[in-house]
Structure 1
Amino acid sequence: MTHTDPATLRRALADRLEHGEVLKTPAWRKAVESVPRELFLPSFFKDEAGPNGITQYTPITPATDEDERLALIYQNETWVTQLNGQTTAETADGLMTGFPTSSSTMPSTVVGMLESLDVEEGMNVLEIGTGTGYSTGLMCHRLGEDNVTSVEVDRTVSERADAALEEAGYSTWPVTGDGLLGHPCRAPYDRIISTCAVRRIPYAWVRQTKPGGIILATVGPSSWSYGTGLAKLTVKEDGTAEGRIIGRASFMPARAEAFTPFSGDLSARAAYADSERRTSLSPDVLNDWMPAFLAQLAAPGAQLVRAVSDSRETVYLFDSGREAFAALTADEDGWTVRQGGPVAIWDAIEDALNAWRNVGSPGISAVRLEVSAEAHAYWIGGQQITTDARSYWIGDEPGLRWRHQHQPLPE
């Protein structure tokens, strides 16, 4: 028997978000108080650290005590809803481990992004990544179901979201497809918001947004779970979009851009080095958000892997697309880096971080970006560069600049 009133929990959640200065406008508060999150989270996983630091997931389903389930649902937490691309809490056989592939993002992040979207009545919005459908429901309440289009790559996830939206009273139709392509059938949009992380803003999104419209998405060419930023861009009359990083953000990557975790013998993958030298820069600096963000601009496509053998740690950076690597090992005197392949990954990262420090180590909100039909450019201060290089780094006061050519969309 349920003793907890969901409406009371929704009001309490709205109070917490308002007190935390996330929820700022009456219209979005009304949406939070009205949209029943429990309909979008009938089941999910509660995570906790297990043996050896490996995360374990406990299924929470309708069979769980209802008061306990509702209390979890209305916490300001992100709950994993799918593991390994297929396993849900209903299909899980008890406690398990795995790789999260879908989730319901914590309400403070969802609402904070919606507030940053600067919507007005009657606007046409495209959402990339329907997920559970909770954020879709909030937008339907705020803007009307006819003004919200949502694209989800996973058909099963999309169908669940559609059913939950119907039950919540919103007769909208989530689209199953690749969100990197947008959804041209209902373009142009006043706003595009992505609830998955992308390596770069697809130019298709720019083309499908009205001049003066806003694109809001987490960016970073990342195989890491951090070091990404929330980009807010305004589309201009000339068909480009320009804006800045407005803060840190962390989302699961778009399914088509997700990296496969490295496996096998790491030392064999880094057996043939072209160079070996000492480095004054410890890879531990990459544990910090802004250096990680810059490292990924300097070496796009690089995956970070830490390994320990005989109490000796090695930090690897692999770029499989260009068959390049950097391997850093520590001794009592500092760090040694071995590098191989057509690009020197650690050289690029080292140069980027040294140049960043030379201009005062600004925070992530100092980063600006522009998306055109040809490239995706970032810079801190100064002006953009015009080189046609696919990946180019330059550190020269007063600005740091990067420019990456667009890559073809996955087939």
Structure 2
Amino acid sequence: MISALNRTEALIRELAPLDRRIADAMRAVPRHLFVPPVALASLDGEDARVIDREADPEDWWDAVYADIPVITQLDDGATDIRTASGNSTSSCSAPGIVARFLELLDPEPGTRVLEIGTGTGWTAALLCHLAGETNVTSVEVDPVVAEQAAKNLSEAGFQPHLIVGDGAQGCPARGPFDRVHVTCGIRTVPYTWIEQARPGAVLVAPYSPRFKTDFQLRLVVTPSGVAHGRFPDLASYMMMRSQRSVPGRQPGETENKHHLTTRIDPRTITCAPAGADLAIGAITGLTAHDSDEPDEDGECHRIWVSDPRDPDAWAVAIWRPDSDEYQVFQVGDRPVWEEVTDAYFRWVGWGEPDYDRFGMTVSPEGQCVWLDRPEHPVPGLSFTGDSSAQ
């Protein structure tokens, strides 16, 4: 069997170019120490399936040292991982995206780090190697996940400061922090994290408005207590529990439903680039997902748009071949499909900017997404002041 060291070196070569400090941390913190004997993984693009160290050790090792996430919990622990069916709620993140976030974070020895979401403990251990274990504070909301992470870290020889609680509250007693590292998707940046960070501190997080595309976010805290930053790349993580969407109702559960039509091909929205997704999400506050599965009437493409805070506000637009107009099924009185298409054409009117031209500001008043520079906020639900992008 290939040794863990050789597998680690092969993984580091696969992830190249890689910051030397991150590569050294991965050598010092073997990933297999943080992956349970039974978990779920998706190798070679297949559906997630069970990996079992006892039943098929080679398959388990291949998954652990591949650049893929390993799912360690379903439905907040309510579903046995062996069923391989349910919502993924905790994981050991893919090494590539872990490395990219650590590069954005850029911790140094002695840097005081707040981590939101301990998970399996692997990233916390990497941070301990990079910054020193006495400088790392990691918060995990799930007591069972936190207990296992503590065991993993102890057995691997690391002793960061671990807290079981709501990561949105941070840990003021351990601040001020030089770095804030978030390992779960967030729709809103809690201002508590900015309050607990010193001027010049860096915050990195998966920004997950969930309008099809999610992003890496990097913010820098200023002496005035306002943080500014941009979206360097894409990233998709499981959502922070306190920021998950409200489950939507099925059509038969409400009488407030409307049958509408649209001249706009739904695929115009589905196939829009990431810059459009970022703009639409910021303007409307809506989420979206799509499907190419045919229905009883044959070939179709559907896109669902919904308000993550209101189960009674959503719509589905349906594309079918050779149609002049397309069906829209809307639940609730909010015209969510119209809001999405209006936001899309507003983005078109701005010259179709890509996501790297957008940024975010977080202040005590809230957060806003802006185009090119903070003086040009995107008009939308995330901003409460003058809202004219130019």
Structure 1-normalised TM-score?
Answer: 0.83
1:238-269 residue CA offsets vs partner (Å, 9 max, x unmatched): 111111111111000001222355453x2654
Instruction: Name which of 271, 275, 288 aligns with 1:290.
Output: 275
Matches for 1:300-311 after TM superposition, within 5 Å: 300-302=285-287, 304=289, 308-311=295-298
1:278 and 2:262 matched: yes
Deviation sequence 1:183-230 (CA, Å, 0-9, x none)? 1120110000101010111101110110111111111332x6x41111
Q: Is the 8 A contact 1:166 1:172 kept in 2?
A: no
The runs of 5 or more residues in structure 2 that have no matched partner are none
Cα separation, 1, equivalents of 2:389 and 2:147: 51
1:182 Cα shift? 1.1
Q: 2:371 aligns with which of 366, 380, 389?
A: 380
CA distance change for structure 1 residues 320 and 267 in 2, over 3 Å: closer, same or farther?
farther
Gap change, CA 1:313 and 1:365, over 3 Å in 2: closer
Question: Does the residue aligned with 1:80 lie in a helix, a strand or coil?
Answer: strand
Tell me the distance in 2 between the aligned counterparts of 1:396 and 1:125. Answer: 36
Q: TM-score, normalised by structure 2?
A: 0.87
Q: Are 1:71 and 2:62 counterparts? A: yes
Q: Do residues 209 (structure 1) and 209 (structure 2) align?
A: no
1:15, distance to aligned residue in structure 2 (A): 2.0
Change (3 A) 1:160 1:310: same
- For residues 360 and 269 of structure 1, what CA distance do their matches in structure 2 show? 40
The secondary structure found in structure 2 opposite 1:347 is helix
Shift of 1:388: 10
Q: 1:147 aligns with which of 130, 135, 138?
A: 135
| Residue of structure 1 in register with 2:235 after alignment | 249
Q: How does 1:18-97 map to 2 (within 5 A)?
A: 18=16, 21=17, 23-24=18-19, 26-43=20-37, 44-47=39-42, 55=47, 57-58=49-50, 60-86=51-77, 92=81, 94-97=82-85
Aligned mates of 1:6, 1:192 — CA distance in 2: 30
Change (3 A) 1:277 1:173: same
| 1:120 CA displacement | 2.0
1:229 to 215, 220, 226: 215
- Match for residue 336 of structure 2 among 314, 338, 345: 345
Question: Could you give the per-residue CA deviations for residues 301-331 of structure 1, whole angstroms, max 9, x where no partner exists?
Answer: 4454658453366543232645333342345
- 1:99 positional shift: 1.2
Total equivalences in the alignment: 381
The 8 Å contact of residues 220 and 297 in structure 1, kept in 2 or not, is answered as no
For residues 390 and 370 of structure 1, the distance between their equivalents in structure 2, rounded to whole angstroms, comes to 10
In structure 2, distance between residues paired with 1:377 and 1:45: 37
1:11 is matched by which residue type in structure 2? E
Say if 1:57 and 1:97, in contact at 8 Å, map to a contact too. Answer: no
Query: Can you list the C-alpha shifts for 1:278-305, whole angstroms capped at 9, x where unaligned?
Result: 3325245235533333332222144546
Letter in 1 for 2:257: Y
| Shift in alpha-carbon separation, 1:165–1:320, aligned structure 2, 3 A | closer
Q: Does 1:188 align with 2:188?
A: no
Write the deviation string for residues 372-396 of structure 1: whole angstroms up to 9, x where unpaired. 1112100113624599976679996
Instruction: State whether residues 49 and 56 of structure 1, in contact with CA within 8 Å, keep that contact through their aligned partners in structure 2.
Output: no
Matched, 1:329 2:324: no
Percent of residue pairs bearing the same amino acid type = 29
Paired position in structure 1 for 2:8: 10
SS at match of 1:238: coil
Root-mean-square deviation (Å) = 3.0
Question: 2:233 aligns to what SS in structure 1?
Answer: strand
